[in-house]
Amino acid sequence: MRPLQKVETYPDGVLDVYTEENRTIGEKKGSFRFENKTIGIQRYYEAKNSVKSYTIALVLKVHHTDIISELDLVLIGDRQYRVRRIQYIPERGVDLLELESVKVKVREPAPTPTPTPTPTPEEPDENIQGETERP
């Protein structure tokens, strides 16, 4: 810790980071404590007027990590967000995450195959006589 460096706290909750695979939630990468930050007017309009044109739902502060990338999804409770931008603040050792609220299809478990009964060949009944051809 540098002299006069502020001790960072993350009192607002825990977020879970997942990979995004084929528009579904993939493998869990980790969990991190976070602090909510305000969305400034300049940041809001920069995102709105960017080429990608997205709306920022949250800005969160987390401890600096290389695990989170801009290709990941973040779950906070039952809400899903896509990471849009990560801004590293080296003098404080934190990352600011810009998150966009999204709906992502949750990966459903693979269906378990149900065994299909194999048909057994029917044995001919000896009491029934087959039809005979008539001339």
For the segment 11-62, what is each residue's pLDDT rounded down to a tens digit?
A: 999 999 999 988 889 999 999 999 998 887 777 777 677 766 677 888 999 9
Instruction: Name 74's Cβ contacts closer than 8 Å, sequence gap at least 6.
Output: 15, 16, 17, 18, 80, 81, 82, 83, 97, 99
CATH number of this structure's domain 13-101, picked from the four choices 3.40.190, 2.40.10, 1.10.10, 3.30.70: 2.40.10
Q: What is the pTM of this model?
A: 0.66
Q: Where are the domains of the chain?
A: 13-101
Q: Which two tokens stand for residue 78?
A: 């039952």
**Does the pLDDT at position 126 exceed 70?**
no
d(CA 11, CA 30): 18
